[in-house]
């Protein structure tokens, strides 16, 4: 799934639709993995393999939130100021009125109130009446230019009704918290460097496995390459394809394995790259990277975390899952572009359409040999998860779907390291 689309990238989906990337020189979209947390082993591979990295902006106070029914999008900074402000006011009120006396000592109350005054910018009166944190329509400047604050804040009731607060916890997640990183030039720098390190002669691509036979002394794998059926015999086999794909491959590993491979929860996922002739999100909206959240069927819109102040740039026009991904996946690439752009115009205005140069979209569930964005273990398939994490004769399975890090390359790496380590000690003992 590590798939970076550039000018000339060609992909034919399961519906027979072929797209050819028309991105201009240097422009690309990471159609699969795009961000790496600081603690992930993926960064260690980048260091060891000499892959330069740069910050991936996963949170930006200047990015937007747009929900159906909003007249205009609201910036994160404004939404946060209002939610934190009103929540602080409510908690301060409860504290001041003694509603929390059974839980707090007098000292606790003073400390909590001091925290809330700062957290919500509610002043000594413990009332939220707006804050400089919300932002300005005219920014502060020289001499008498104190800045023109944005109109507002809306009422507490309107802020709660807007639902903006539901997006705030994303950045608290262990996997999603800033800083995050990306390889300079595209995520596929990682597999390219891995192949260089292993030796290109040792990696054979374009081979579709058609059968796996486990024997007492070795494993036979049949595959087709360039239309020709071929066979490779080895001491051991590590099958690193998605479980729902492996489930369809003939093997002699038994009915339990066959069934176990079908028990993962496979999710439809879609992503679209939109290349623009200008970086209007920087010049007109002062958004330098980050993510706009929406309840439209786009789900998430990403601004590029590189190439700032360049001539052109490539947004992720949608990154959606489940029903939204299915809806876009059913369309032709041209129809997807039209639908995504119409939605994006509602958030960003006409330049979302008029500055567009080209697009490329990937429906992962309609992508050959992948057929899903990710495959999650479920609470019901724990026995299957345990079974497939054990060697089946001389055959091992590996992938992010066999870890607590599904949807992350770090999971794929960690699963591979576990299997290779086990195999190593097995061979040493044999
Ligand atoms: C939209 C999206 C966003 C993501 N975002 C991130 C992110 O931001 N950060 C991150 O770290 N990770 C992210 N991931 C997850 C990351 O892509 C995966 O964890 C990682 O690529 C898994 O690597 P893998 O080699 O185990 O499996 P895969 O990448 O699924 O590779 C499986 C391989 O098996 C091959 N295969 C299938 N059938 C056969 C067959 N019959 N014979 C031979 N080969 C076969 C497939 O062609 C494929 O190359 C994202 C994934 C998606 C789809």
Place of tokens 């051991």: 236
The pair of three-digit structure tokens given for residue 367, joined into one six-digit string: 């992508």
290 domain-assigned: yes
**277 in the same domain as 182:** yes
Which residues have C-beta atoms less than 6 Å from ligand 1?
1-2, 32-36, 42, 207-209, 240-242, 245, 249, 269, 271, 364, 369-370, 373-374, 399-400, 407-412
ipTM over 0.95: yes
**279 in the same domain as 183:** yes
Q: What is the pLDDT of residue 230?
A: 98
The answer to whether the beta carbons of residues 325 and 297 sit under 8 Å apart is no
Q: Give dist(CA 406, CA 192) in Å, integer.
A: 22
**277 in the same domain as 259:** no
Q: Please compute the mean of the pLDDT values over residues 245-261 and round it to a whole number.
A: 98
CATH of the domain at 275: 3.90.660.10
Q: What is the pLDDT of residue 20?
A: 98
**326 in the same domain as 279:** yes
Q: What is the pLDDT of residue 265?
A: 97
Q: Please compute the mean of the pLDDT values over residues 341-351 and round it to a whole number.
A: 98
Nearest CA to ligand 1 atom 26: 399
Nearest CA to ligand 1 atom 4: 33
Bridge partners of 362, per DSSP, are 271
DSSP code for 252: S
Reported as a single tens digit per residue, the pLDDT across 279-335 is 999 999 999 999 999 999 999 999 999 999 999 999 999 999 999 999 999 999 999
Reported as a single tens digit per residue, the pLDDT across 37-64 is 999 999 999 999 999 999 999 999 999 9
Which residue range forms the structural domain that includes residue 117? 78-136+153-162
The answer to whether the beta carbons of residues 27 and 7 sit under 8 Å apart is yes
Residue 404, CA distances (Å) to 128, 377, 415 in order:
41, 9, 10
Q: What is the pLDDT of residue 378?
A: 93
Q: Which residue intervals of 163-275 are DSSP H helices?
A: 189-198, 243-246, 255-260
Q: Give dist(CA 273, CA 318) in Å, integer.
A: 8
64 phi/psi in degrees, rounded to 5: -115, 160
CATH of the domain at 425: 3.50.50.60
Reported as a single tens digit per residue, the pLDDT across 387-397 is 999 999 999 99
371 domain-assigned: no
Q: Give dist(CA 310, CA 364) in Å, integer.
A: 30
194 domain-assigned: no
42 domain-assigned: yes
282 phi/psi in degrees, rounded to 5: -85, -50
Pocket-testing residue among 407, 410, 416, ligand 1, by greatest number of atoms within 8 A of Cβ: 407
**230 in the same domain as 185:** no
Among residues 175, 196, 246, 204, which one has the least CA distance to residue 45? 196
Nearest CA to ligand 1 atom 45: 241
Place of tokens 């205005």: 349
Could you give the number of structural domains in the chain?
Answer: 3
Q: Of 366, 386, 408, which residue sits at a domain end?
A: 366
Strand (E) positions, 261-328? 265-267, 269-276, 290-294, 300-303, 313-321
Sheet with 300-303, edge to edge strand ranges: 74-75, 64-66, 290-294, 300-303, 313-321, 269-276, 356-363
The pair of three-digit structure tokens given for residue 30, joined into one six-digit string: 């990471």
The pair of three-digit structure tokens given for residue 217, joined into one six-digit string: 């002394």
Q: Of 336, 366, 396, which residue sits at a domain end?
A: 366
**387 in the same domain as 354:** no
Q: What is the pLDDT of residue 164?
A: 98
Q: What is the pLDDT of residue 303?
A: 98
Ordered DSSP codes for 225-250: ETTEEEEEEES-EEE-S-HHHHTTS-
Q: Of 338, 366, 394, which residue sits at a domain end?
A: 366
The pair of three-digit structure tokens given for residue 107, joined into one six-digit string: 């000292």
**391 in the same domain as 361:** no
242 CA to centre of ligand 1 in angstroms: 8
Q: Give dist(CA 93, CA 43) in Å, integer.
A: 46
Q: What is the pLDDT of residue 174?
A: 98
**393 in the same domain as 257:** yes
Q: What is the pLDDT of residue 97?
A: 98
Q: What is the pLDDT of residue 398?
A: 98
Q: Please compute the mean of the pLDDT values over residues 2-26 and round it to a whole number.
A: 98
């Amino acid at each position: 799934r590590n798939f970076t689309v550039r000018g000339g990238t060609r992909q034919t989906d399961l519906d027979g639709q072929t797209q050819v990337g028309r991105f201009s020189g240097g422009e690309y979209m990471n159609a699969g993995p795009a961000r790496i947390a600081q603690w992930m082993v993926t960064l260690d591979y980048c260091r060891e393999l000499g892959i330069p990295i740069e910050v991936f902006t996963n949170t930006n106070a200047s990015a937007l939130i747009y929900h159906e029914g909003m007249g205009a999008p609201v910036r994160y900074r404004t939404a946060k100021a209002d939610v934190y402000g009103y929540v602080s006011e409510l908690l301060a009120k409860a504290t001041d009125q003694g509603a929390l006396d059974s839980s707090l000592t007098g000292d606790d109350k003073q400390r909590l109130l001091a925290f809330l005054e700062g957290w919500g910018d509610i002043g000594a009166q413990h009332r939220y009446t707006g804050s400089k944190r919300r932002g300005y329509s005219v920014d502060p400047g020289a001499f008498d230019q104190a800045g023109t604050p944005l109109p507002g804040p809306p009422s507490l009731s309107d802020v709660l009704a807007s639902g903006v607060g539901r997006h705030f916890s994303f950045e608290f997640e262990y996997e999603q918290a800033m800083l995050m990183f990306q390889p300079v030039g595209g995520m596929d720098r990682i597999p390219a460097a891995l192949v260089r390190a292993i030796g290109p002669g040792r990696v054979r691509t374009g081979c579709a496995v058609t059968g796996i036979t486990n024997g007492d002394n070795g494993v036979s794998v049949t595959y087709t390459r360039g239309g020709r059926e071929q066979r490779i015999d080895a001491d051991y086999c590590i099958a690193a394809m998605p479980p729902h794909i492996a489930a369809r491959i003939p093997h002699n590993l038994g009915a339990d394995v066959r069934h176990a491979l079908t028990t993962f929860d496979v999710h439809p996922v879609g992503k679209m790259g939109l290349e623009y002739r200008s970086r209007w999100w920087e010049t007109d909206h002062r958004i330098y990277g980050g993510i706009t959240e929406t309840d439209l069927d786009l789900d998430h819109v990403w601004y590029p975390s590189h190439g700032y102040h360049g001539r052109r740039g490539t947004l992720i026009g949608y990154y959606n899952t489940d029903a939204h991904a299915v809806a876009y996946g059913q369309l032709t690439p041209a129809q997807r572009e039209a639908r995504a752009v119409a939605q994006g115009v509602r958030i960003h205005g006409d330049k979302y359409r008029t500055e567009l140069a080209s697009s490329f979209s990937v429906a992962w569930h309609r992508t050959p040999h992948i057929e899903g964005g990710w495959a999650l273990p479920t609470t019901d398939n724990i026995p299957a998860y345990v079974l497939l994490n054990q060697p089946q004769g001389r055959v091992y399975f590996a992938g992010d779907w066999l870890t607590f890090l599904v949807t992350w390359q770090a999971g794929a790496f960690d699963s591979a390291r576990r299997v290779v380590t086990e195999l190593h000690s097995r061979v040493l003992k044999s």
